[in-house]
Amino acid sequence: MKYYLIVGEASGDLHASHLMAALKAEDPQADFRFFGGDLMKAVGGTCVKHYKELAYMGFIPVLLHLRTIFRNMDYCKHDVEAWRPDVLILVDYPGFNLKIAEYIKKHTQIPVYYYISPKIWAWKEYRIKNIKRDVDRLFSILPFEVDFFKKHQYPVCYVGNPCVDAVDEFRKKGQETAETFRTVNVLDGRPIIALLAGSRKQEIKDNLSRMIEAAKDFPEYQFVVAGAPGIDPSFYREYMAADTKIVFGQTYRLLQQAEAALVTSGTATLETALFRVPQVVCYYTAMGKLVSFLRRHILKVKYISLVNLIADKEVVTELVADGMTVENVKAELSAILEGGDSRARMLNDYDCLIERLGAPGASERAAKAIVCSLWKR
């Protein structure tokens, strides 16, 4: 069968590539055409446009590139229509993908499936009308989304979480010793605290220097930064102490050896929990008081970290906006180190979280469901 996939960012490229590999296992004749990235190219098929041509973030960049965005959108609509796939699979990226879904549903008979649903439970809940009208099947990677969509009389299929798969694959390669990790990265014998300060320059700029400042109160530990792909090491050095170490392409290896972590919100919070590393979520923003106000009155959710959202309670402390101060980081970090008041409770909560996420195999389950449903049409 013919599969057309659309992603708009690096994480979508990763998840879609795994889904494509699983689809090939279910359907050896699978033919792929996509808006995607290098990981999808490696699986095979025709890359119509790279996601880097689509990825504009923030109000000003989007405004400046509106003409390009609309041109890409029109090209995509007509390319899908002309190729006539057996299914269109949209991966996250709702601002773009929901517009494509609307057009394809209105002008063709091509079924529209969504893998990794738009996060309308956080904001823009009104988009549920578009999803119910334009999306034939939705595959979720967050267990609480099932109840959210059920509330709107829209059934979704929870297939598991790709982070569980990624961590499971890493562990299958074998346990690296702490001594080996320290030797390779020229670290000393002190216990390690991991610093995951985000994947974008603005996040790193806002959070890393505050994390490093808090670290000065813990000389018995060594703080190691997990460098994000695509960010030059020299950029990090502007916000780091001279003796702080940084490793690239080793986030899972670092978490495997860490006693605790300071983590900027995102997928990294969930990955840290899957490694059972106690953490503090740190997310500083300018105009903190305003952001805190907007968070309380506009966002539809109580938490920002995936760990707390999935658990539906505060498992990890979230220091957000004006709450992300050096003093607060020090206090919360102390509580999760060995002997700290919160450490044992957090580890127990992690076990419940891991059980709720379910077993590995998200991509495989999604692929089976997609192929099975297409054969039935």
DSSP 175: P
The parent domain of residue 254 ranges over 166-357
Are residues 9 and 111 located together in one domain of the fold?
Answer: yes
Structure tokens, 102: 């609307």
Are residues 109 and 203 located together in one domain of the fold?
Answer: no
Number of folded domains that form the chain: 2
For the segment 51-68, the average pLDDT, to the nearest whole number, is: 58
Are residues 235 and 334 located together in one domain of the fold?
Answer: yes
Look at residue 288 and tell me whether its pLDDT is greater than 60.
no
β-strands 258-263, 245-248 pairing: unpaired
Are residues 170 and 136 located together in one domain of the fold?
Answer: no
* CATH code of 339's domain: 3.40.50.2000
Are residues 186 and 317 located together in one domain of the fold?
Answer: yes
Are residues 188 and 267 located together in one domain of the fold?
Answer: yes
For the segment 328-348, the average pLDDT, to the nearest whole number, is: 96
Look at residue 296 and tell me whether its pLDDT is greater than 80.
no
362 touches 161 (CB < 8 A): yes
Reference 262, options 325, 219, 311, 211; nearest CA is 211
Structure tokens, 48: 């119509």
Are residues 99 and 248 located together in one domain of the fold?
Answer: no
Q: What is the pLDDT of residue 287?
A: 57
Are residues 308 and 176 located together in one domain of the fold?
Answer: yes
19-58: pLDDT as tens digits:
999 999 999 999 999 999 999 999 999 999 998 776 544 4
Look at residue 60 and tell me whether its pLDDT is greater than 50.
no
Are residues 132 and 215 located together in one domain of the fold?
Answer: no
Are residues 46 and 195 located together in one domain of the fold?
Answer: no
Among residues of the chain, what percentage have pLDDT more than 70? 91
101 touches 135 (CB < 8 A): yes
User: Residue 159 half-sphere exposure, CB side, CA atoms within 13 Å?
Assistant: 25
Q: Which amino acid is at 33?
A: R
Prediction pTM value: 0.85
Are residues 180 and 55 located together in one domain of the fold?
Answer: no
Q: Which value, to the nearest 10 degrees, does the dihedral of the CA atoms of residues 323, 324, 330, 333 take?
A: 90
Question: For residues 15 and 28, what is the distance between their CA atoms, to the nearest angstrom?
Answer: 19
Are residues 113 and 8 located together in one domain of the fold?
Answer: yes
pLDDT band, residue 372 (cuts 50/70/90) = very high
